[in-house]
Structure 1
């Protein structure tokens, strides 16, 4: 293998083999190679699939939108921006087109499994807004539960008596994934309605009262969630592709 200069630092060349050895010494060679393989698989798929064509008009509009958003409508300013980012117009245009193709590839790869993946993950995707009061003594938590039944504000009691850090926000835990809740809590919360008090429950040597707020069920109508699930499936698909590849690392030892 012919020695290749990878970088020049202070007029000193760093050969490709040396650069790879630096990465290996730092424990970063494996993720570095992993990203190369990932990009290789994507490139091959984009090249060989005939069903990923993108309308030139779509790409042109995306370029226009980008320039408007970044205030790069002036040709000179845009040219300077391209140069500062190591691009010319052709490579920038190509990058935009490839990003559309990649999203189309993701959709095609993940669509058949998306609904099933969503159902499998739904327990962790569904959320519920909870507040809590955490105390050390059973007698105290029972007294607080009685006060709440009589109309005392849950938030005020949380602020006064809870020993959890969230007492400073009146016990508000915020939206919590159902899948991360302990089984005993999830079972009680699932059978409750907004506004209900759950507990007292003994948890890790402490006593807890929960107030159930809004239930936030996950839905594939949520664009951000759908994209996140597509990304998960796409990364799994890439990993499976890479797993089946024959890979050999050719590094000439330095002397």
Structure 2
């Protein structure tokens, strides 16, 4: 029950609003997912150390610049949760991480070996414009060195964030690229302008700054565990809701 002056919100009110906004099923699935995690953790004898909860709470406080205890209490009050609720949520997240590692740590190397190409990356720049003629004109201007790719992205790209970054997309995994463009990018050379390629109703030009061959570094190691754990959890939920 939430009671703030003239406003009173009951648990039934929350459930009703979730249903009206078509969000009820999402919440039910999240509850079922946590129950599946709790059950699997118990079966495997996995628990969360209270010191780990306190360390994570301290990290969150530092991240949110909550220097004093009073700052933390106000931050929690603004979100209508107690210290106990907050620490329980931290415990849930740490338990999920511990279970994922217990389930799939031993599978990471073999999974990476079988799917290594998917974890190749490239440093990618992109220009997206609405018209093919404009895309062709930009391509010719860059080829003739009348303008650089980065200047063209800053001037013409339809996405504001990409304009400010002069077309920079970042380090992109092969698996994250659509089949429409991945072959063209991986067959190109560094510094070569690729395109224009039509994707839906827009026209794209690409520039590759660097190819980064896959290595089993910590971020990829964790990404594989997260992927395998997500697939496991989806199977658990399917079993729960289909039976």
Give TM-score, length-normalised by structure 1. Answer: 0.59
Secondary structure (helix, strand or coil) at the match of 1:244 reads: helix
Tell me the distance in 2 between the aligned counterparts of 1:42 and 1:198: 45
Tell me the distance in 2 between the aligned counterparts of 1:172 and 1:139: 17
Residue 29 in structure 1 maps to residue 24 in structure 2: yes
Secondary structure (helix, strand or coil) at the match of 1:212 reads: strand
CA-CA distance at 1:143 after TM superposition: 5.0
Tell me the distance in 1 between the aligned counterparts of 2:186 and 2:192: 11
Match for 1:180 among 172, 177, 180? Answer: 177
User: Who is 2:101 aligned against?
Assistant: 107
Pairs within 5 Å for 1:44-193: 44-50=39-45, 52=46, 70-72=66-68, 77=70, 84=77, 85-87=81-83, 99-115=93-109, 120=115, 123=118, 126-132=121-127, 136=133, 140=137, 143-144=140-141, 147-148=144-145, 153-155=147-149, 158=152, 163-165=156-158, 168=163, 172-175=167-170, 176-178=172-174, 179-180=176-177, 183=180, 185-193=181-189
CA-CA distance at 1:38 after TM superposition: 1.2
Secondary structure (helix, strand or coil) at the match of 1:240 reads: helix
CA-CA distance at 1:172 after TM superposition: 2.3
Task: Provide, for residues 101-124 of structure 1, a one-character-per-residue CA deviation record: whole Å limited to 9, x for no partner.
Answer: 432211122334445655558547
Asked if 2 retains the 8 angstrom alpha-carbon contact of 1:141 and 1:208, the reply is no
Unaligned runs of 5+ in 1: 1-5, 249-255
Task: Provide, for residues 138-167 of structure 1, a one-character-per-residue CA deviation record: whole Å limited to 9, x for no partner.
Answer: 98568536524xxx553477369x754369
Compared CA separation, residues 247 and 177, structure 1 to 2 (3 A): closer
Unaligned runs of 5+ in 2: none
Aligned-pair Cα RMSD in Å: 4.9
Asked if 2 retains the 8 angstrom alpha-carbon contact of 1:130 and 1:210, the reply is yes
Task: Provide, for residues 51-102 of structure 1, a one-character-per-residue CA deviation record: whole Å limited to 9, x for no partner.
Answer: x356666566656666777434x7xx599579855235xx877766665443
Tell me the distance in 2 between the aligned counterparts of 1:174 and 1:142: 18
Tell me the distance in 1 between the aligned counterparts of 2:16 and 2:52: 43
Aligned residues: 229
User: Who is 2:210 aligned against?
Assistant: 214
Compared CA separation, residues 237 and 173, structure 1 to 2 (3 A): same
Tell me the distance in 2 between the aligned counterparts of 1:41 and 1:236: 13
Secondary structure (helix, strand or coil) at the match of 2:240 reads: coil
Pair member with larger Rg: 1
